[in-house]
Amino acid sequence: NMFLAVASFALYYYNDQKGGGDSAGPMDRRISSFETIVRENPDDASARANLATLYFEEGRYSEAIAQYEVALEVDEENEAYLVGLGRALLSAGDHRAAAEKFQKAVDLSTEAELTSDVIETAYYYLGSIALTEGKPDEAVTNLKKALDVEPTDADACASPIFSFDAP
């Protein structure tokens, strides 16, 4: 009886992890679903941004960049898409283009939006890029702006730029 229960669970677990005999994992199935949605609705900026996010999570940066760019053709002033594109560009190694997208997101935001997670993220990445480019004053300015939006942001607080005593 115990052997049968263990064997049944093992078979269930194996099939569950394998997707019921399908070789695609859960992420592959989510990507495939959004690819279908995008094919059927090419002007759906939200679907493209969701697909871009999934590509980004899988390290498929060039595909993420392409999807964010098309989403921005449809909704060119969407700060979340700009920040997503900036993150993908940064991960692909294009710091300057990434910084331009983060800055555009900040520039487009209204006073009310300056408290949003999206804008806080844009400031954080602008600060991080400035730091890697050897621009500590610019880094401090942007990281402080990120902390103004979210004072408990551990990433911004832990930045090496804040690890020394200023004169």
Question: What pLDDT was estimated at residue 130?
Answer: 94
Asked if 72 and 81 touch (Cβ cutoff 8 Å), the reply is yes
Question: What pLDDT was estimated at residue 149?
Answer: 78
The pTM for the full model equals 0.75
Amino acid code (one letter) for 137: D
Question: What pLDDT was estimated at residue 27?
Answer: 83
Closest CA to 160 of 129, 118, 125, 131: 131
Beta carbons within 10 angstroms of residue 119's beta carbon: 24
Beta carbons within 10 angstroms of residue 135's beta carbon: 14
* Rg of the chain taking only CA atoms, in angstroms: 21
Cα(130)–Cα(139) distance, rounded to whole angstroms?
5
pLDDT tens-digit profile of 65-111? 999 999 999 999 899 999 999 999 999 999 999 999 999 999 888 65
Cα(25)–Cα(21) distance, rounded to whole angstroms?
10
Cα(157)–Cα(138) distance, rounded to whole angstroms?
16
Ranges under pLDDT 70 in the chain = 1-24, 110-115, 152-167
